[in-house]
Amino acid sequence: MRIAIDVGGTFTDFAWEVDGKIRTGKVPTTHPEPSDAVFKGLDEFLADRLQEAPWLIHASTLASNTAIERTGAETAVLTTRGFRDVLLIGRQKRYDVYDVSLRRPKSLVPRRRILEVDERTAADGSVRKPVAADQVLEAARELEQLGVQSLAICFLNSYANAEHEEQARSLVGEAAPSMYVTTSADVAPQWREYERFSTTVLNAYLGPTLSRYLSSLAAGLKDRGFTGQVLVMQSSGGVAPAETMERYPVRLLESGPAAGVLMAGRLSRQLGVVNALSFDMGGTTAKLGLVRDGIVNVTDTFEIAQVDLKPRSGLPVMVPSVDVIEIGAGGGSIARPNRGLIEVGPRSAGADPGPACYGRGGLEPTVTDADLVLGYLNSDYFAGGLLRLDRDGAKQAIMSRLGDPLDMTLVEAAWSIHRLVNMNMATAAKAASIARGIDVRDFALLAFGGAGPIHAARIAEELGIGRVVVPRAAGVGSAVGLLGADVRFDLVRTMRCPLSESEAGNIERAYAELEQVAQTLLHGMASDGETIYRRSADLRYIGQGFEVATDVPSGPTTAAVLKEIEGNFHSTYERIYGQADRGRAVEGTNWRLAAIRPTEVRARHESRTIPPGGGASYSREAYLPEVGDFTMVEVHSRFSLQPGFEGRGPAIVEEDDCTTVIPANWTFTVDEDENLVLSFEADTHGN
Amino acid sequence: MAIDPLTLTIIWNRLTTIAEEAGNTLRKTAYSPGIRDAEDCAFAMFDAETRMMAEAIYTPGQSASMPFALRHALDVYPASSLEPGDGIVVNDPYLGNGHLNDIYVLLPVFFNGELVAYTGCCGHHSDVGGAAPGSQAVQGVYDLYSEGMIIPPVMFYRRRQLVTDVAELIAANTRIHDYTLGDLKAQYNACTVAERGLIRLLEEVGVDAWGACLEEMLRRTEAEMREAIEALPDGQYEYEGFLDDYEEGSPALRVKATLTIAGSYLAVDYAGSDGYVPAAINCPYNLTYSYTLYALKAVLAPSLPANEGIRRPIRVVAPEGSIFNPPFPAPCAARAILVPRMIDVVMGALSQVTPGRALAAASHFDNTMMGGRDLKTGRPFVNFQMISAGFPARPYCDGEEALPLGYNTGNVPIEIDEAVDPVVIDRFEFIPDSAGAGKFRGGLGIRKDIRLLAGPLRLSNNADRHRFPAWGLYGAGAGTVGRILLNPDGEARPLHSKGVYTVDSGEVVSVQVGGAGGWGDPLERAPKAVLEDVLDGVVSETAAHSEYGVVIVDGRLDETGTAALREQMARAKRGANA
């Protein structure tokens, strides 16, 4: 038995697997104590069976909410003398070149809480000036008196030699034993001081909050008879023991989206699809993730708390994270005329007041309003019938705010909203895949989230993708994804050296050391199976400033292996940038290791009985331009479609928390796992 | 052909996306830190009539100058002579972007055998030969020829084949030939990325819809720019400032702008500015045009796309022979030094008509370069510092810390500088009490100390506002002036803001950039905001008292004392003004 819990902003989702069957459940998330909802759900769904579970897998938005809402611990920074302002100066680029009214996000730590001490390590790791122990002790005492709970130790060049930070850590431990202490070389041992310090400060800022939460979770579980291990989902898409993560809370920032993409990864393996694009569209944003060869793409840097999702406007985080592209496109995205063009998103009506058709005072037209007017949504069966949608309100909003000003009919305006939000998502997906050197046309699109399945087939058309899969329980997809999460820990070391035979020993030593660290971190894991060590490196042509993540074969690092790495680099480079420079010397900067213990879950959703009145098919009008205007379209209840069912678009499939639109030129089937599989008929489209 | 809003939106968005994709490719494949880290580069696309359609937003000056570079290139290679895959390269400052380091690569795009568009990009190359490493020395250069290699428009790729003779010639004339060629190939490659994107777009929408959309885009952008200008009262508005000097003992240079608004037409005239000088700070007209346009756009229409449409209602005039329109071959390598002066005076003039929008004066950047041989590797190197400090105060809030205005080049991580070049950075920090006081204060000045581990090295400074600080507006104070000291902790020796020196291993170059100007009366600043600054150590208690009239006792605000002091200061000010 496995249990997975995903704490989201609105709902806490549960998925559990017993005897090869998956069941799911949902309770409202509680604030400010999210563990209340967790216990409520456990008591409701799994009251007497908790002791059977060896693992409980947990994901939550607590870390990102704490960072975004700035409700973390009172934090201070200890840094190298002369570099007090590294965190405040940043990389010095405006995130908008022309907007002179822009504001930088405030630092999590005010300048008065950034203290300097004498110490200095050189770039080669040698010591230029020893740590002034008395200054560290004095700073620690002072900070404790000020009520500071958490301290980030950020010394220059510590990526090359962590000794000084460790000395400072133990000194602080003496002077202020209750302080949560985190060091930059431990959290993100890579060069680039601003990004490393920023990551470390976030870790310190989140530490006390996350530790408190994880301990209260553990205590509550123990009270309920749970004797297994709590595993926590990291941004990287792997789980790790909760005790380890109390030390690295910054690795939990993207835990929620990671669980979603992970479900896509699991689904793609289950389907035998090697390459997939996960597409999770909710109320405010859409999240896209890449799955290649059944493996979820992971990136090494991202930003949290951005302004309008603009690059460089947020706080950089230098830890591995599932590569999620977030776009301001959701059901609540607002459409408006902008200098004669139509703008859809990133502004969103959110959940309150929500789209005009919610009838809660929203006056601006949104994507959901357009979907309703176009006949894709059923006004009587939205969110399982919980909310009745107001069609007249939607029409009114679309015409008064968009149709009339731009001289478009209702249908033209509604279709424009639908088409453009699809294009925005397709454009972002295309840009992101091109930037990663990936051609998505042979990928499958895996759609989930409340709004995803309405738009999925159209986005697939924009991207030239011929297959769309909508899983069962798409609305609680993240929790289901957690059930199949691998245990994983990512480690990195910065060491700049050319890919030459004389360095083979150093490179092998670096990897061996990382493997040892991984073994320690995963020691005592109640997981069966072998640990797989996946190596990679950030490589570049000597003289370049950006690296390309390159696969590295498992050890030992011989001359032949070095040749292979170099070959991998050239071809990755070529794939991403169009041309490689094979004659030029290559060097590595960061050496990475992912320690993975894979999990295989082969379970089916428990069959559901057809709800009363929810099973019959009927017809309603929907707008399908490829057929011509409004057409009568057959509407199926998802629960009435048994495995083996085959159908042909245009059609609509409705279920409690989402609706799937199948345009003409698409066929669909229900597979053995009750996934809805849509296929594009290329021959009828001429594409 | 009538265009519906949906088609127009789709094509417009796609053009921007294509430019961004190509720009990204350029940045990620380049070798020069200026391009890859600092994003001192540009990417843009033009129609067959050389009208700018879309840009990737990096360094606004380079893209605004690109139409000039393209037109000059076509003077040499007429459109009728071009073939698919041809790549023209040019860096002549008087045809391109005002100094030799900015090299353009331009590529024609053909569709169904017809030339339909051009793609182009520019990058700041770290070195293009000449008297000083980095090719940007202000002094000791007599004319353009002494600054480095001049590349007139020449064919660098012919029908997708590298013209190796030209490549060899270029490579032989830089100190870092490997990188230069790598960068130029990266630039050409980026042009072809956009070429493919444009061809795909044309295949999808057809030439007619594309052409009609383009006309509509330009028409609408122009109309909106005109509307923004028309909203301002007609009249003439002047502002002037000074550049410190161009070498030790040389006179200050007057910088003057006159803004004329007449209906939907706007002109900026630099008449009254001083004549060009025998130092490398002269600003060729293209760059004068580009950054004047930038300042106008940032205040009047920041969200308008930068296509040909915004240029139509605007005229930029610089008298021939002035520092803003010097004659060929006046030296100009460090002409970027005039750009902040230009933005400041245009903002100053604009502040008279748009008091709620224009900004005070910004901190001036410091672009110090050190070059020589790295004893450890035996390799020649150029260490390039780009130190930006305070963003000016705005009529509605403080200036941001540590952000540039106009250009948008970031810094190179200290840990990368120290790992790659023989330098150690001793400090990188704000300078307390350096910001111009005001209801809203300017951004702070910044100090960076660079310790040299190799020598002897050639040091060339490229800085300003060591004599004339960044002014405040509407009663606010100015920022502090900057300075550069050699060995600040020993027998400190002040270096000239544009001097060229020989420095040695073990010496420390301390660059201290002044703060930005404030906005509005400092006595109107919220006392709480002053207290926060004091607690953060960026404003001293003394300055809180003397400049803001705020009394702080034991880290707490003395409200009664503050009210009394402010009233007394206000009275004194009124008395002085009476």
pLDDT digits (tens, 9 = 90+) for B48-82: 999 999 998 888 889 999 999 999 999 999 999 99
- Nearest-Cα distance to chain B for A507, in Å, is 18
| Chain A neighbors of B396, CB-CB under 8 A | 101
Return the pLDDT at A686.
38
A546 touches chain B (CB under 8 A): yes
B374 touches chain A (CB under 8 A): no
B195 touches chain A (CB under 8 A): no
In the predicted structure, residue B474 carries a pLDDT above the cut 60 = yes
Out of B10, B403, B424, closest to residue A94 by CB: B403
Total-model pTM:
0.90
- Higher pLDDT: A351 or B378? It is B378
Contact A103 B189 (CB under 8 A): no
Q: Which residues contact B340 (CB under 8 A, 6 or more apart)?
A: B362, B364, B365, B405, B406, B464
Residue A225, token pair as written in the block: 């008879």
- Higher pLDDT: B450 or A254? It is B450
Mean pLDDT estimate for chain B: 94
| Nearest in space to A551 (alpha carbons), one of A542, A541, A540, A538 | A538
Contact B24 A88 (CB under 8 A): no
**CA B395 – CA A390 distance, rounded (Å):** 44
Contact A496 B419 (CB under 8 A): yes
- Nearest-Cα distance to chain A for B485, in Å, is 17
| Chain A neighbors of B188, CB-CB under 8 A | none
Return the pLDDT at A519.
85
A543 touches chain B (CB under 8 A): yes
Secondary structure percentages of chain B, helix, strand, coil, to 5: 35, 25, 45
A97 touches chain B (CB under 8 A): yes
Residue B204, token pair as written in the block: 């999808």
B381 touches chain A (CB under 8 A): no
B356 touches chain A (CB under 8 A): no
Residues in A 341-400 with any Cβ partner in B closer than 8 A? 341-342
| Chain A neighbors of B404, CB-CB under 8 A | 92, 94
In the predicted structure, residue A336 carries a pLDDT above the cut 60 = yes
Lowest mean pLDDT among A664-673, B445-454, B501-510: A664-673
Q: Which residues contact B541 (CB under 8 A, 6 or more apart)?
A: B534, B552
Strands B87-90 and A666-670: unpaired
pLDDT digits 0-9 by tens, A588-598: 999 999 998 88
Residues in B 260-319 with any Cβ partner in A closer than 8 A? 294, 297-299, 302-304, 306
- Higher pLDDT: B418 or A266? It is B418
Return the pLDDT at A615.
59
Return the pLDDT at B355.
87
Contact A93 B409 (CB under 8 A): yes
Out of B25, B179, B404, closest to residue A92 by CB: B404
List, in sequence order, every beta strand (DSSP E) within A107-204: 114-117, 120-121, 127-129, 150-154, 180-183
Out of B5, B178, B429, closest to residue A84 by CB: B429
**CA B280 – CA B146 distance, rounded (Å):** 10
| Cα three-residue angle B83-B24-A260, rounded to 5 degrees | 130
pLDDT digits 0-9 by tens, A363-401: 999 999 999 999 999 888 776 666 789 999 999 999 999
Q: What is the mean pLDDT of residues A187-200?
A: 95
Contact B178 A543 (CB under 8 A): yes
Out of A81, A111, A342, closest to residue B536 by CB: A111
pLDDT digits 0-9 by tens, B104-116: 999 999 999 999 9
- Would the ipTM clear 0.85, i.e. be above it? yes
Contact B414 A83 (CB under 8 A): yes
Q: What is the mean pLDDT of residues A611-630?
A: 79
**Please, are residues A296 and A283 in contact by the beta-carbon 8 Å criterion?**
no
Return the pLDDT at B168.
95
**CA B100 – CA B330 distance, rounded (Å):** 12
Q: Say how many residues make up chain B.
A: 578
pLDDT digits 0-9 by tens, A442-491: 899 999 888 899 999 999 998 999 999 998 877 667 788 888 888 888 89
Return the pLDDT at A685.
42
Out of B8, B400, B409, closest to residue A103 by CB: B400
Q: Which residues contact B65 (CB under 8 A, 6 or more apart)?
A: B96, B97, B98, B102, B122, B286, B287, B289, B290
Q: What is the mean pLDDT of residues B229-234?
A: 96
**Please, are residues B102 and B95 in contact by the beta-carbon 8 Å criterion?**
no
Return the pLDDT at A485.
83
Residue labelled with tokens 């820990």: A489
Residues in A 591-650 with any Cβ partner in B closer than 8 A? none
Lowest mean pLDDT among A46-55, A308-317, A421-430, A541-550: A541-550
Contact A94 B33 (CB under 8 A): no
Q: Best mutation site among A80, A81, A85, A436 for testing chain B: the one with the most B CBs within 10 Å?
A: A85
B139 touches chain A (CB under 8 A): no
- Nearest-Cα distance to chain A for B426, in Å, is 6
Q: What is the mean pLDDT of residues B217-241?
A: 96
Q: Best mutation site among B415, B417, B519 for testing chain A: the one with the most A CBs within 10 Å?
A: B415
- Higher pLDDT: A481 or B564? It is B564
| Chain B neighbors of A424, CB-CB under 8 A | 13
- Nearest-Cα distance to chain A for B443, in Å, is 11
pLDDT digits 0-9 by tens, A261-281: 888 887 888 888 888 999 988
Cis-peptide, bond into residue A32, ω within 30° of zero: yes
Residues in B 170-189 with any Cβ partner in A closer than 8 A? 178-179, 182, 185, 189
Residues in B 484-523 with any Cβ partner in A closer than 8 A? none
Contact A103 B397 (CB under 8 A): yes
In the predicted structure, residue A232 carries a pLDDT above the cut 60 = yes
- Nearest-Cα distance to chain B for A173, in Å, is 26
In the predicted structure, residue B324 carries a pLDDT above the cut 60 = yes
In percent, how much of chain A has pLDDT > 70? 93
pLDDT band at A684 (very low <50, low <70, confident <90, very high): very low
Contact B428 A89 (CB under 8 A): yes
**CA B101 – CA B35 distance, rounded (Å):** 11
Q: List, in sequence order, the alpha helices (H) in B365-469.
A: 414-420
Out of A104, A496, A581, closest to residue B403 by CB: A104
Return the pLDDT at A528.
61
Residue labelled with tokens 């629960």: A639
**CA B294 – CA B343 distance, rounded (Å):** 8
In the predicted structure, residue A687 carries a pLDDT above the cut 60 = no
Mean pLDDT estimate for chain A: 88
Return the pLDDT at A527.
58
Contact B408 A88 (CB under 8 A): no
**Environment class of residue A523 by beta-carbon count within 10 Å: exposed (0-12), middle (13-18) or buried (19+)?**
exposed
Return the pLDDT at B375.
81
A412 touches chain B (CB under 8 A): yes
Q: What is the mean pLDDT of residues A142-156?
A: 97
pLDDT digits 0-9 by tens, A28-44: 788 778 899 999 999 99
In the predicted structure, residue B307 carries a pLDDT above the cut 70 = yes
pLDDT band at A612 (very low <50, low <70, confident <90, very high): very low
In the predicted structure, residue A118 carries a pLDDT above the cut 90 = yes
Size of interface A-B (CB pairs under 8 A): 185
- Higher pLDDT: A575 or B370? It is B370
Contact B9 A341 (CB under 8 A): yes
Residues in A 140-159 with any Cβ partner in B closer than 8 A? 156-157, 159
Which chain B residue has the Cα nearest residue A340?
A: B5
In the predicted structure, residue A529 carries a pLDDT above the cut 90 = no
| Chain B neighbors of A193, CB-CB under 8 A | 413-415
Residues in B 557-576 with any Cβ partner in A closer than 8 A? none
**CA A610 – CA A602 distance, rounded (Å):** 24
Return the pLDDT at A457.
97
Q: Which residues contact A176 (CB under 8 A, 6 or more apart)?
A: A140, A141, A143, A144, A151
Contact A412 B6 (CB under 8 A): yes
| Chain B neighbors of A495, CB-CB under 8 A | none
Q: What is the mean pLDDT of residues B352-367?
A: 94
Residue B150, token pair as written in the block: 């001049």
Give the DSSP H/E element, type plus range, for residue A455.
helix A452-463
